[in-house]
Each structure stands twice: as C-alpha cells, then as structure tokens.
Amino acid sequence: MAEQTITKSRFIAIAAHCADEREVGATLRAFATQHPSAHHLAYAFRLKMEQGIVQRFSDAGEPSGTAGMPVLKLIEGRNLVNVCVAVIRYYGGINLGTGGLARAYGATAKMALDAARIGDYVEMQTVALTIHYNQMDQVTRALSMCQGSILDKAFNEQVYLLILLPKKEASDFVSRFATR
C-alpha cells in the first residue's frame, strides 16, 4: 500500500496478487468498500491465463489514458503477471491536467509495487493421484516442500487426491507416488 498527496488530491494505491478476474473484482470491491467517499478508483491488471495474457485497465472517469493506462504500463514494464494495482483518488479541488494526472497515478502505483513483495511466477498444474493410505503423510510433506496443496480427497480402498503443484514437479511427483 502507498499514499501520497499531490496538489491537495490524496492518492492511495494497493498492489495485490490475483489469479483470475474473479479475484480482481473481489480485490477492487474490497478496496472501494474501504474508501466509500473516494472520487475515483482507477486500476489495471495483468493475468496469465491458459489462453495467454489478459490485461485491462480503467480510468474511472478521469480523462482517457490518464489513470489506468499509466498503471498498466508500469505493470507491463516490470513484466508482472497475476497482479492488480488499484489507485484511489480523493479529489482536492485543484485540476492536475492530463499530464499531472498520469504522473500522479503512475507514481502512486509505482510506490505500491515498490512496497509489495513480488515473487517469481510459478506455473501450477492440477493432478489426480491415487495413493495407498500409508503414503498420505509422505505425500503431504512432499507437497508442502514443493509449494503444492491438496484440493480434494476421497478415502475408499485407496486415497484419491486432487492436488495442485508446480507444473515442472508434476510428472516426477506422480511417478514417485502413484499406486501401481
């Protein structure tokens, strides 16, 4: 989160990890709820999806290209994916002009990204796996070590798991634990 005041207008920005457009919407709604009297909520997001990169922005009623576009250019320039950056503006009564608006929104977004913890992008894969009961603890530990997780499980004669793990680990993981 970042905040600055420029010519009596208050700008507040957040940068958040979002895996899909549903999460982007939830993030924006939560931010708007925290600032119900704000005049503008401009944003940009860039997501890596199965069909490729999806990116959008909104100027939120500011002149075209002065609010969301500078934020999107910043995200693109850093080659970030699965991120949403939102900037709230409380209007201070003084017009900043198109150049001033673009600089203010871009600078506040940059401050939020600079303050954010940015990790490497890891492509994940969902895998169905059948294991023996006595493997459950070992599988759970191995998933934890590779940043994976169990999405669903069913216990019958064997344990049926739906797991999420880094794509580069999936083949080895399955061959190591799948029942034969």
* The last residue of a domain, from among 68, 96, 115: 115
Quick: pLDDT tens for 49-94: 888 999 999 999 999 999 999 999 999 999 999 999 999 999 999 9
**Same domain (yes/no): 65, 136:** no
**Same domain (yes/no): 149, 110:** no
Quick: pLDDT tens for 83-105: 999 999 999 999 999 999 999 99
The pLDDT value recorded for residue 63 is: 96
Q: Walk across the sheet containing 40-49 and list its strands.
A: 2-6, 9-17, 83-90, 40-49, 52-58
**Same domain (yes/no): 162, 109:** no
Encoded amino acid at 109, one letter: A
CATH number of the domain encompassing residue 28: 3.30.230.30
CATH number of the domain encompassing residue 173: 3.30.70
Number of domains present in the structure of the chain: 2
**Same domain (yes/no): 110, 132:** no
Q: What is the mean pLDDT of the chain?
A: 93
Quick: pLDDT tens for 141-177: 999 999 899 999 999 999 999 999 998 999 898 888 8
Question: Taking the model in full, what pTM does it have?
Answer: 0.75
Residues spanned by the domain of 141: 124-177
CA 110 to chain centre: 16
Token code pair at residue 27: 């993030």
Q: How confident is the model at residue 180 (pLDDT cuts 50, 70, 90)?
A: low
**Same domain (yes/no): 20, 84:** yes
**Same domain (yes/no): 137, 67:** no
